[in-house]
Amino acid sequence: MDLAALNKVATAMTQPGKGLLAADESSGTIKKRFDAIGVESTEENRRDYREFLFRTEPAMKDRISGVILYDETIRQKAADGTPLVKIIEAAGSIPGIKVDAGAKPLAFCPGETITEGLDGLRDRLIEYRELGAKFCKWRAVIDIGDGIPSHDAINSNAHALARYAALCQEQQLVPIVEPEVLMDGDHTIERCEAVTMWTLKTVFMELYYAKVQLEGMVLKPNMIVPGKKCATQASDAEIAERTISVLKDCVPSAVPGIAFLSGGQEDVEATARLDAMNRIGGFPWHLTFSYGRALQHAPQVAWSGKKDNVPAAQAAFSHRAEMNGLATLGEWTEAIEKKAA
C-alpha cells in the first residue's frame, strides 16, 4: 500500500472550494427520481442524464473534486462513445464507485439493517480499479426509533465498514466511510448527537482494529440535526456547533477530510449548514460536501427528460455546485444565493 498516494487522492477529494457529486443512485432509487419528473428510467435516459451532468462547465472543473458512480455508470459510454469515466477525468475530477450491496434487515433486530456486500469485494475492487476508480464508498445506515439503535446494529455496521475500508486500501483505493444516522423520525437534536457520537466512536475503534490508515480515507457522516418530525427544529448555527463538537470529540486529526451527506435536507439548508461549520473553523480536517439530491434535484426538475432543457438543467447544476463550493470556504451567504439564482 502506498499511503502517500492514497493521502494525495483523499486530500484532493476534500480540497477547499470543491466537493463530491454523489451520482451513485441504485437503479431503484434513480427510478423514483425519474418517476417524480415523468421520465422513464431506461439505460439510455440514465446515461444521457449523467452525461450532461459530467459535461457541465465550469461546475465540474471548478467545483466538483470527484464523482461517486454506480456499477452501471462506471461501465457506460457517452452518446459519442467516450467512457463516462474519461469525461469525468477530462474535467479534472476523480472517478469513484459505490461498492456496497445495500442495507438488508438485521437478524433479530426489528427496524434495523446491516449493509451487505463484503463477499467477493476484493475481486470487485480490482475490476473497478481497472475501470478507472480511484476511491470507493460504502454506506451504513443507523436508524433512531423506539429502542433503537441497538448495540448489535452499530457494532455490526462499524465492523463491516472497517473490513471494507481495509480491503479498499489493500487495493490502493481510498475508502469513503459513510456511517449515516438517519434524520427520519421525531427524535430530538440531542438524541441525534448522542447516537452519532456512539456510532463514530465505534467506527473509529473498528477502523483501528482493521489497521485502516486514517490518512488514506475520507469520512462521510451526517450532520447533527433533529428528526424531520421533531416538534422542535434547530437553527443552522446550532446544527453547525453541535456537529463540529461531535466531530472534534470523535474524529482523529489524521483524517484529511470530511465530506457531509445531505441526508434528505433541502438544497439550500444543506449548503447553509456546511457554510456555518466552515465559518466556525478551528478544526484539523477539510469540511466539504458529498451531496446527491442536494446537487441533483434542481437539474432533474429543469431537465424533465427533454433534450432542449439540458442547458437549463446544466445551469441549475452549476448554481448548486457553485453555492456548495462557496460553503466549503465559509463564503456562502443568503444574499449570494438569491442573487445568483
- Please, which residues have CB within 8 angstroms of residue 160's CB and are 6 or more apart in sequence? 114, 115, 118, 138, 140
- Cell 465550469, residue located: 58
CA 11/CA 292 separation, integer angstroms: 20
Q: For this structure, is 211 an active site residue?
A: no
Length of the chain counted residue by residue: 341
CA 174/CA 137 separation, integer angstroms: 9
State the catalytic residue, choosing from 18, 134, 137, 220: 220
Residue 94 β-bridge partners: 66
- Cell 451520482, residue located: 23
Query: For residues 139 and 115, is the Cβ–Cβ distance under 8 A?
Result: yes
State the catalytic residue, choosing from 25, 51, 178, 337: 178
Q: Is the peptide bond before 110 cis (omega within 30 degrees of 0)?
A: no
Closest to 180 measured CA to CA, from 127, 110, 113: 113
Q: For this structure, is 44 an active site residue?
A: no
- Bridge-based pairing of strands 113-115 and 103-105 is antiparallel
From first CA to last CA, the distance across the chain in angstroms is 45
Q: Is the peptide bond before 284 cis (omega within 30 degrees of 0)?
A: no
Cα-Cα-Cα-Cα torsion 18, 121, 112, 262, nearest 10 degrees, comes to 10
Catalytic residues: 178, 220
